[in-house]
Amino acid sequence: MVHQVALVGCAHIHTPGFIKRINERPDIKVKAVWDHQPDRAALRAKELNAPVVSDLSQIWSDGEIEAIIICSETNRHEELVIPAAQSKKKLFAEKPLGIGAADGYKMAKAIDAAGVVFHTGFFRRGDPIHLFVKEQIQKGSFGKITRIRHTNCHSGSLGGWFDTDWRWMADYAQAGVGAYGDLGAHSLDILLWLMGDVTSATASINVVTGRYGDCDESGEGLLQFENGAAGSMAAGWVDIADPAWLEISGTEGHAHVHNDQLYFISKHVEGADGKTPWTTLPPKQVSGFDLFLDVIEDKANAPLVSAQEAAYRSAVMEALYAGHREQRWVAPKKA
């Protein structure tokens, strides 16, 4: 069976990759493409062999369209996500869901009220190392966790990745955040997924090269979790390497990653002495955009990111930026 979807907004840097994956699937067909920039809509529609639609109401009211994929600028999410949810179609919105807490929770409320399937672009939950660490946390293999660190960095600013097509991602008015919020969103999702909610947050977020004006390019954040653990989080567009992207320490166990190899110590797990890479890991799970495409097929029990989870992550990121500006700890806003 072929499922028909609509692409609403084509601004996000992941759009070309999403189009490639859609075109590789015989079970998914894009029936309509919309973007507020006609030339951009035409380009992506050509790649998808799909028509451009200028009136969004045609998409919302089309009963043959089962799902909406929103890849617009973040500041346009609210005006697109809410009517998309009200159209009762399955909904994917690229991360972050909101500029901050207010619009994030407003969209989450509309999505939940509509009762539609929702997912967003956090794709790192399916990584075997993340799955293993989550399993060991649940089993108590770390004892009482005292601290955890996650990083997500690349050299995008150094390489001028956002000079032309993706320039809006370095514009606070449209993106709401800079490099720290862009890449840090993925680390934040993993930290919250592993550890739960936080009581307060703060950060040091900085411009490094000035290539994109006052847009931040690097940052370090601190999180105080409700369970008592301390978290730290790094992200940026000015890193030439990111070899140690996870560390977790507890009273009875420790794990860290170096060059994508996991080293694990636990008194509760036979052979976990931390001397050699730990390779007994769960299989990789489908996550992110690919998981949403699968869910259009109505696959049961898919590990989707809920609308409330997505909104809370926007709220915590807002608190991290506020902590930087105000030089203090900030409590994330609740729904």
pLDDT digits over 288-322, tens only? 999 999 999 887 789 999 999 999 999 999 999 99
Residue 6 CA to residue 21 CA, distance in Å, equals: 14
Sheet holding 253-258, edge to edge: 198-206, 218-225, 230-236, 145-153, 246-250, 253-258, 261-266
Are residues 131 and 272 part of one domain? Answer: yes
In a domain, 325, yes or no: no
Amino acid identity of residue 18, one-letter, is F
What b/e string do you get for 274-296 counting C-beta neighbours within 10 Å, with b at 16 or more? eeeebeebeeeebbbbebbbbbb
Are residues 280 and 132 part of one domain? Answer: yes
Range of the domain at 12: 3-120
H/E element, 292: helix 288-295
Identify the pLDDT of residue 298: 81
Alpha helix (H) ranges present in 71-127? 77-86, 101-114
Identify the pLDDT of residue 137: 98
Residue 293 CA to residue 49 CA, distance in Å, equals: 18
Domain boundary (65, 88, 120) is at: 120
Split into its structural domains, the chain has a count of 2
pTM for this model (two decimals): 0.98
Residue 287 CA to residue 187 CA, distance in Å, equals: 15
What b/e string do you get for 136-157 counting C-beta neighbours within 10 Å, with b at 16 or more? bbeeebbeebeebbbbbbbebb
Are residues 137 and 115 part of one domain? Answer: no
CATH assignment at residue 53: 3.40.50.720
In a domain, 324, yes or no: no
In a domain, 309, yes or no: no
Residue 114 CA to residue 109 CA, distance in Å, equals: 9
80 within 8 A of 52, measured Cβ to Cβ: no
220 within 8 A of 232, measured Cβ to Cβ: yes
Residue 133 CA to residue 269 CA, distance in Å, equals: 12
Identify the pLDDT of residue 75: 98
Identify the pLDDT of residue 300: 76
Which residues of the chain fall short of a pLDDT of 50? Answer: none
Are residues 106 and 7 part of one domain? Answer: yes
In a domain, 190, yes or no: yes
φ, ψ at 173 (rounded to 5°): -65, -35
Q: What share of the chain is helix, strand, coil (3-state, %, to 5)?
A: 35, 25, 40
Domain boundary (65, 87, 120) is at: 120
Are residues 247 and 132 part of one domain? Answer: yes
271 C-beta neighbours (distance < 10 Å), count: 10
Are residues 146 and 258 part of one domain? Answer: yes
Identify the pLDDT of residue 297: 86
Are residues 132 and 66 part of one domain? Answer: no
φ, ψ at 152 (rounded to 5°): -150, 100
Give tens-digit pLDDT for 189-229. 999 999 999 999 999 999 999 999 999 999 999 999 999 99
In a domain, 330, yes or no: no
